[in-house]
Amino acid sequence: MMRYSTLIAAAVLALPVCASAQIYRCETESGTVFSQAPCAPDAERVEGDDSYDSEAAAKAEARTQRIMSDWQRERQQRLENRARWRAEQRQEREAERRREELNRQARRGNIQRGADCDVATSAAGRPDRVNEGSDARGEWQQYVYEDGGQTRYVHCRDGKVTSSSRWGGD
């Protein structure tokens, strides 16, 4: 809001310089015409004086243009920032919905990559074995569930399921 008031102030400051311009009246076939420059050889000067300062007017115009340009640039930046923020918010909401769906599936026994490891392992029950280790990418866990001739493996890294598989049985 402050930049907008600055813009208005600059435009108002430029008015007195521009207002001192000379005004000419010319009679044409279509009627009377008023202009800042002589519109015919017999143009009559109506108002104004010789104190018009074209250099001051040019500086005022440049100042006004600079302020407008700054204001437009800042407005564009605000719009871009708002669009970026909205896109980030949309992505976060979508990621949260995806996490919730993966965790809902894990609680039903359908453990998929990306589910929270604690949700998946608590839904699968107490593991028969937990293998842990680390490598260049960090620490990992392998939860092993044995049931009748089947073995289920749930692999986790950084609190997320990286894979889940079953072995054995029919």
**For the chain, domain boundaries:** 2-80, 108-168
More confident residue, 15 or 103: 103
* Domain 108-168 of CATH type 3.75.10.10: no
Distance CA 66, CA 116 (A): 54
The model's pTM? 0.45
For 73-90, letters b (16+ CB in 10 Å) and e give eeeeeeeeeeeeeeeeee
pLDDT, tens digit, 9 for 90 and up, residues 35-62: 777 877 787 887 555 555 678 788 888 8
Confidence band of 20 (pLDDT split at 50, 70, 90): low
Q: Between the CA of residue 73 and those of 13, 60, 65, 85, 135, what are the distances in Å?
A: 22, 20, 12, 18, 49
pLDDT, tens digit, 9 for 90 and up, residues 72-88: 999 999 999 999 999 99
